[in-house]
Amino acid sequence: MSAEPTDSTNLTGHCYDGIEEYDNPLPQWWVWLFILPIVLSPFYYVYYHFGVEGRSIHDDYKTAVADNLRQQFAELGELKPDRDTLLKYLDDKRWLAVGESVFKTQCVSCHGTNGEGKVGPNLCDDIWKNVYQIEDVTKVVANGAAGKAMPAWGARLHPNELVLVSCYVASLRGTSPPGPVRPPEGKAIPPWKP
Ligand code: HEC
């Protein structure tokens, strides 16, 4: 860079190894842009993080998700985890998709992306440990099993989510997931629909 014309009145007077420093202060508006956020940040922090519920974007998100779920479930009413309901939604593609989304967020870490089994058993075969008929699926999901190695979801999922995820799990039976599967555990059970 070409040297600026020297104007000794505009120097700070600092000199380091013969290198002098121009006195070019930052514009006032820039300085305020720097200072204002620092001054405002404690108020922001207190308002959004110690304030009442519902102010942070996380709260907004939770409310939006809950609203959405309520809207979706409005037409279902509250599903009962009984045999007839489970068999009915077992064949309902549209609502199975809701069960699938619960499965993909909560269950794949232990049961594998396609139910092939990882820490938890394979859910695609006819061999089951804690399940004999379709209602048992919801019981295991709601109450857990094996001293909570299979966690209880009863308090963590909406009752309709419990039913729909159970239907989705039941629908995995008889599918052939790609890749390695966990070997069967338990005993062969009769088909869901006798
Ligand atoms: C932390 C790991 C873990 C997570 C997460 C998990 N499971 Fe399990 N699950 C297990 C284990 C382990 C078992 C086997 C329990 C046993 O040995 O009796 C099991 C068993 C089951 C069974 C019974 C299988 C059988 O053969 O009897 C079902 C059904 C099931 N899980 C569904 C689900 C669903 C649905 C979800 C998600 C909402 C889920 N699991 C999340 C670990 C998990």
Q: Does 174 lie in the same domain as 109?
A: yes
Q: Which residue among 133, 150, 185 has the greatest number of ligand 1 atoms within 8 angstroms of its CB, and so is best to mutate?
A: 150
Give a yes or no: residue 64 inside a domain: no
Calpha distance 132→85 (Å, rounded): 17
Q: Do 27 and 82 share a structural domain?
A: no
170 plus 98 within the same structural domain: yes
**Atom 32, ligand 1: residue with shortest CA distance:** 141
Instruction: Please give the pLDDT value at position 78.
Output: 93
Which residues lie with the beta carbon below 6 Å from any ligand 1 atom? 103, 106-107, 109-111, 119-121, 128-131, 137, 140-141, 145-146, 149-151, 153, 165, 169, 186
Question: What domain range includes position 21?
Answer: 9-49
Q: Amino acid identity, residue 147?
A: G
Same domain as 96, residue 37: no
Residues 182 and 158: beta-carbon distance below 8 Å: no
My answer on whether 25 and 88 are in the same domain is: no
Residue nearest to atom 43 of ligand 1 (CA): 150
* Pocket test residue of 101, 111, 131, 133 for ligand 1, highest count of atoms within 8 A of CB: 111
Looking at the fold, whether 29 and 120 belong to one and the same domain comes out as no
Is residue 2 in some structural domain? no
Phi, psi of 60 (to 5 degrees): -55, -45
Domain count, the chain: 2
Query: Are 101 and 156 members of one domain?
Result: yes
Q: Say whether 102 sits in a helix, a strand or coil.
A: helix
Q: For residue 58, is it within any domain?
A: no
Q: Name the band, by pLDDT with cuts 50, 70 and 90, for residue 1.
A: very low
Burial pattern 25-41, b for ≥16 Cβ within 10 A else e, equals eeeeeeeeeeeeeeeee
Q: What CATH number should be reported for the domain holding residue 131? A: 1.10.760.10
Asked if the structure places residue 37 within a domain, the reply is: yes
97-126 pLDDT, tens digit per residue, is 899 989 999 999 999 999 999 999 999 999
Q: Give residue 124 CA to ligand 1 midpoint distance, Å.
A: 13
Query: What average pLDDT does the chain have?
Result: 91
Please give the distance, rounded to the nearest whole angstrom, from the Cα atom of residue 17 to the centre of ligand 1.
71
The answer on 115 and 22 residing in a single domain is no
Q: Please indicate, yes or no, whether residues 82 and 174 belong to a single structural domain of this protein.
A: yes
Dump pLDDT digits (tens) for 12-31.
888 999 999 998 889 999 99
